[in-house]
Chain A
């Protein structure tokens, strides 16, 4: 279980429902590690400012991560935690690997999920 203030995606059903019921979704799939924590912190900061986006996290070692995000073709070449993915209308718009700054996350949100 990730110790963040974000809502967690813990089952495949939750993941499917999340994408079905929300046009704009950002999920950070990681651990409680040093490269992941700053991204969760950024998401917690941005969540109130981007009310139209559903912000979630997902434990990298959970079954749901293995069944969903870790299976995406776009992340197969990734070599750094966390894997952060951005969906619009159920379609993957962008995926990033490793630590991201607030400016980098904001730029992607503004480009794809504005």
Chain B
């Protein structure tokens, strides 16, 4: 694999793949690297119905189509690429991938996306795949006829809770705040479902069980009183966090770890642009990621074009050409 590119795109979700399409189509040597499977969070969607022009498609299908489109223009896409080191300063950017060596580029588009946020309590890891899940579509059927808990208060939590009532005996929605962040229609749909009950202003303290999850321990945020719920499953939908730990000290990040950009999606580092869910912004959708990828790629093209443009000579007396009268046009 060639080790030099014009532009390297870090992240192969919709933002990164869109950037790859635009960059490769501009005849720039483009390498897209992703630490997981190309497609990013998009492949977590079993049905996408709000991507314009495509009435209904799975996340995997859309990811595959975007990847093929990028590759058809000559973009190289490397999945499962673990970044060992990264240097963004100076005119040549360098990334070292585990087992692959060093790769250089003159510009970089950062599109590392995000991943499901976890509670961060020790017992959570112990029961992942044994009762704790982050995907209702994938794992819901394992809890047929069981009592389960859904943790979270956004659209995903409430929509998935409703979906899980098709298999579970009961669903308890546990949320840390005393009101939901979800859209009113999602709250309404959950509230009118007789199999769903709500426990608000609760912290999840612990998951307990043997081979499999058996209990979820909660604590009231108001009183500190503990509640122990019998539950065979717990589905966590508590938002996403940006995959930007590797950028600490290399590019400006917000306190939440989001990449800071200007309107042209330039970061604080010359030649480094950012796009997608890892960027500081209000709405995180496939469509906004695609838009970001476009803007960042066009910015990178403009940046590289400016680098290659011959610099106009410094204006000095010796540069002045005396025009003969015949050359003067009135």
Chain A interface residues toward B at CB < 8 A:
31-38, 41-42, 45, 49, 76-81, 96-98, 101-103
Contact = CB atoms under 8 A, between A and B. Distances in A.
Nearest to A105: B80
A77 B233 CA distance: 12
A80 B40 CA distance: 20
Contacts of A102: 36, 80, 82
B139 A101 contact: no
A77 B139 contact: no
A102 B128 CA distance: 17
Interface of B: 36-39, 43-46, 59-60, 79-80, 82, 99, 128-135, 137-139, 142-143, 211-213, 232-233
B139 A81 contact: yes
Contacts of B131: 79
Q: Is the interface of B mostly helix, strand, loop or mixed?
A: loop
Q: Is the interface of A mostly helix, strand, loop or mixed?
A: loop
Contacts of A79: 129-133, 139, 142-143, 212-213, 232-233
Nearest to A35: B138
B60 A77 contact: no
B138 A77 contact: no
Given A79-B133, A80-B129, A37 B37 contact: yes
A28 B294 CA distance: 36
Contacts of B134: 35
B36 A101 contact: yes
Contacts of A96: 129
Contact of A34 (B45, B212, B232): B45
Contacts of B99: 49
Given A34-B44, A37-B37, A78 B129 contact: yes
